[in-house]
Amino acid sequence: MLSFALGIGTQNTQGDWLEVYYPAPLINPEASLTEAAAKALNAPGGNAVVSFLPEHCAALAAALREAGHGDQAELAEHLAASQRPLVATFLAEDTPPQNAAEVYLKLHLLSHRLVKPHGLDLNGMFGLLRNIAWTNEGAIDIEELPARQLKARLEGRALSVDCVDKFPKMTDYVVPTGVRIADTARVRLGAYLGEGTTVMHEGFCNFNAGAEGPGMIEGRISAGVVVGKGSDLGGGCSTMGTLSGGGNIIISVGEGCLIGANAGIGIPLGDRCTVEAGLYITAGAKVTLLDDKGQEVRTVAARELAGQPDLLLRRNSQNGRIECLTNKSAIALNEALHAHN
């Protein structure tokens, strides 16, 4: 079994899941736990999403406790007080999600650091998530928002809509330990933030993306991008989303890198790379390689530098060309870059 979780969620008037909160999702749970839960809830085999009522919680808790899983039994007991729909999600294998409840479990696994970005199959997830008004009264189907707004006004309440999106902010579901997030609205559920990561006010982190930590994020981590340990993203900088533009290069940032303010990358960076402030490197950009004396060696497309460590990428302020130097200590890399064949 890949994952199991008990959750509490929100449905629209048609009974479709809008969102699900899983307080304690499990990765690779013990067979005794999932077997006890499946039997208590009469769940089918394979990947399954089972809705249940608060009155079922006592029997579920008893079955889990008898199987030796006190923490999950205690959670089931807490859920008995719920006034919202309850759900148990079983993921026997990692296949494309079939409903919103499965999507939310996978997003939780990422933000709980139980799985790293690109570690789960999320194909087709957008079509399973509804556009939602995230309000001070919870998630509301956008098609049902006008009626809810009118109802609130008639009852003398103000219904505040914080955003309209398919994804909620991560911190409404998961707050990882050892991180700082200056503006929580800028980190989506499904982001992976490692210990020691700081996301400043202009920083952003999308789902299925993140930073290993420690690191300072003052720029944008687009979907699918992973930033290595000790790397900083300067204010206003950008990383091109994985597979953006139909390409097949997975964008990433190695360890100990610096992307300067208002710079950006459309290629993966190896370790200890620096991109000058204001310089955006796309895969097809022409880059002039320089030797240790600053002499031109040859010109290549930036994609040929993908994943190489110890690069300094800058724009020549006199002629405007993009140039690449390497650290003097990067002997092997220098040989690779400076080869004329």
Backbone angles phi, psi at 338, to 5 degrees: -95, 0
- Beta partners for 86? 8, 52
Closest C-alpha among 90, 105, 102 to residue 36: 90
Of the candidates 202, 218, 276, 323, the residue annotated as catalytic is 218
**Which positions ≥6 away from 281 have C-beta within 8 Å?**
263, 264, 265, 266, 267, 275, 287, 302, 313, 322
Distance CA 192, CA 176 (A): 9
Beta strand pairing call for 264-265 and 238-239: parallel
Tell me, yes or no, if 35 is annotated catalytic: no
The type of residue at 159 is: L
DSSP structural state of residue 131: P
Q: What is the dihedral of CA 97, 101, 106, 112, to 10 degrees?
A: 180
Residue 121 near residue 105, CB atoms below 8 Å: no
CA angle 7, 98, 176 (to 5 degrees): 40
Rounded Cα–Cα distance for residues 291 and 64 (Å): 65
Q: Which residues are catalytic?
A: 218
